[in-house]
Structure 1
Amino acid sequence: MKLFPSGHATHPQWRMAAGLVLAQLRAQMALPDYARAPSLGLLYITDHYGEDAQEILDHLGAELPEITDWTGTVGVGVAANNAEYFDEPALSVMLCELPSDQYRVFSGVAPLASSEMSGFAAHTALVHADPRTPELGELIAEMADRTDTGYLFGGLSSGRVGSLQFAIGGNGNIRGHGAVGGVFSGGLSGVVFGEGVRLVSRVTQGCQPVSREREITEADGNLLLALDGQPALDVLLADLRVSLDAPEQAIDAVRATLVGLVEAGSDGVRRTGDLGADVRVRHIIGLDPTRRGVAIADNAEAGMRLSFCRRNAQAARADLMRVCAEIREELEPQEQTLATAREVAAGEAEAAPHPARRIAGAIYVSCSGRGGPHFGAPGAELQIVRHALGDVPLVGFFAAGEIARNHLYGYTGVLTVFTAGD
Structure 2
Amino acid sequence: MDMFRVAHATAADWRQAANACLAQIGDIPAEASLGFLYVTDHLAGDLPAILGFFKEQTDIVNWVGSVGVGVCATAQEYNDLPALSLMIADFPIDSFRVFPAIKSDIDEFSGHRAWCEQADARFAVVHGDPRNPKTPAFIAELAETINDGYLVGGLSSSRGPNFQIAGGLTEGGLSGVLFSSRVPVATGHTQGCSPLGQKHQITECRNNIAIRIDDRPALDVFNEEVGEVLARDPGRAAGYIFAGFPIKGSDTGDYVVRNLLGVDAENKLLAVGGYLNPGDTIIFCKRDIRTAYEDLLRMLRDIKSRLGGRPKGGVYYSCLGRGVHMFGADSAELRAIRQELGDIPLVGFFANGEISHNRLYGFTGVLTLFS
Both structures adopt the same fold (TM-score exceeding 0.5): yes
Letter in 2 for 1:412: T
Distance 2:30 2:75 in 1: 23
Establish whether residue 381 from structure 1 lines up as the match of residue 333 from structure 2: yes
Q: Is the 2:317–2:348 Cα contact (8 Å) retained in structure 1? A: yes
Letter in 2 for 1:250: P
When residues 114 and 60 of structure 1 are mapped into structure 2, their CA distance, relative to the original with a 3 A threshold, is: closer
| 1:2-36 CA distance string (max 9 Å, x none) | 24111111111111111111111125x6xxxxx76
Q: Is the 1:262–1:280 Cα contact (8 Å) retained in structure 2? A: yes
Q: Report the secondary structure of 1:417's partner residue.
A: strand
Q: Is the 1:367–1:410 Cα contact (8 Å) retained in structure 2? A: yes
- State how 1:105-254 maps to structure 2 within 5 Å: 105-108=98-101, 111=109, 113-116=111-114, 119-168=118-167, 182-242=168-228, 249-253=233-237
Distance 1:114 1:105 in 2: 9
When residues 195 and 212 of structure 1 are mapped into structure 2, their CA distance, relative to the original with a 3 A threshold, is: same
Distance 1:307 1:267 in 2: 17
After the TM superposition, which parts of structure 1 deviate over 6 Å for at least 4 consecutive aligned residues?
none
Aligned residue in 2 for 1:321: 297
Structure 1: give runs of 5+ residues left out of the alignment: 30-34, 169-181, 269-275, 333-355
Distance 2:284 2:228 in 1: 14
Distance 2:177 2:81 in 1: 27
Q: Is the 2:119–2:181 Cα contact (8 Å) retained in structure 1? A: no
When residues 88 and 254 of structure 1 are mapped into structure 2, their CA distance, relative to the original with a 3 A threshold, is: closer
Q: How many residues align?
A: 365
Distance 1:20 1:243 in 2: 51
- State how 1:19-418 maps to structure 2 within 5 Å: 19-26=19-26, 37-65=31-59, 67-108=60-101, 111=109, 113-116=111-114, 119-168=118-167, 182-242=168-228, 249-253=233-237, 256-267=240-251, 276=253, 278-289=254-265, 292-332=268-308, 356-357=309-310, 359-418=311-370
Q: Report the secondary structure of 2:130's partner residue.
A: coil
Q: Is the 1:263–1:304 Cα contact (8 Å) retained in structure 2? A: no
Task: Point out the structure with the larger strand share.
Answer: 2
Mean Cα deviation higher: 303-312 or 249-258:
249-258
TM-score (norm 2): 0.92
When residues 112 and 396 of structure 1 are mapped into structure 2, their CA distance, relative to the original with a 3 A threshold, is: farther
Q: Report the secondary structure of 1:139's partner residue.
A: helix
Distance 1:376 1:54 in 2: 32
Distance 2:40 2:327 in 1: 20
C-alpha root-mean-square deviation of aligned residues, in Å? Answer: 2.2
Distance 1:103 1:304 in 2: 38
TM-score (norm 1): 0.81
Mean Cα deviation higher: 205-214 or 191-200:
205-214
Distance 2:251 2:220 in 1: 26
> Post-superposition shift, 1:97?
1.4
Distance 1:218 1:99 in 2: 53
Structure 2: give runs of 5+ residues left out of the alignment: 103-107
Distance 1:304 1:51 in 2: 42
Q: Report the secondary structure of 1:113's partner residue.
A: helix
> Post-superposition shift, 1:121?
4.0
Distance 1:389 1:43 in 2: 22
Q: Is the 1:10–1:91 Cα contact (8 Å) retained in structure 2? A: yes
Q: Report the secondary structure of 2:4's partner residue.
A: coil
Identity level (%)? 42
Q: Report the secondary structure of 1:108's partner residue.
A: strand
